[in-house]
């Protein structure tokens, strides 16, 4: 059994590249029981191709994600 604790989550507004419709991406940071961090990324429900990603982060990367300035949010999608 894997124990996870949600640390933070946020929504990011974006325009879908195909339809140009506004949408919301979701990001959530979890602490995994072994001391690592898991970043869950999900683009919007209305996107032409919904995508989900899971990225394991170390402590430094998790702190970078938590402290990203508003204009740089979404940088982990690249």
Strand 52-57 versus strand 37-42 pairing type: antiparallel
Paired tokens of 45: 């429900």
User: Which two structure tokens, joined as six digits, stand for 64?
Assistant: 């970078």
**Residue 77 counted as domain residue:** no
For the chain, what is the domain count? 1
- The answer to the question of residue 55 being in a domain is yes
**Is residue 63 in some structural domain?**
yes
**pTM of the model as a whole:** 0.77
In a domain, 78, yes or no: no
Domain annotation covers residue 76: no
pLDDT band at 30 (very low <50, low <70, confident <90, very high): very high
Which range of residues forms the domain containing residue 9? 4-71
For residue 38, being part of any structural domain is answered with yes
**For 41-49, what is the mean pLDDT?**
70
Q: What mean pLDDT, rounded, does the chain reach?
A: 81
């Amino acid at each position: 059994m894997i124990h996870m604790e949600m640390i933070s989550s946020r929504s990011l507004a974006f325009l879908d590249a195909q339809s140009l419709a506004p949408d919301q991406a979701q990001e959530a940071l979890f602490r995994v029981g072994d001391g690592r961090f898991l970043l869950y990324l999900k683009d919007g429900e209305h996107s032409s191709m919904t995508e989900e990603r899971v990225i394991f982060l170390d402590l430094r990367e998790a702190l970078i994600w938590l402290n990203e300035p508003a204009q740089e949010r979404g940088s982990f999608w690249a």
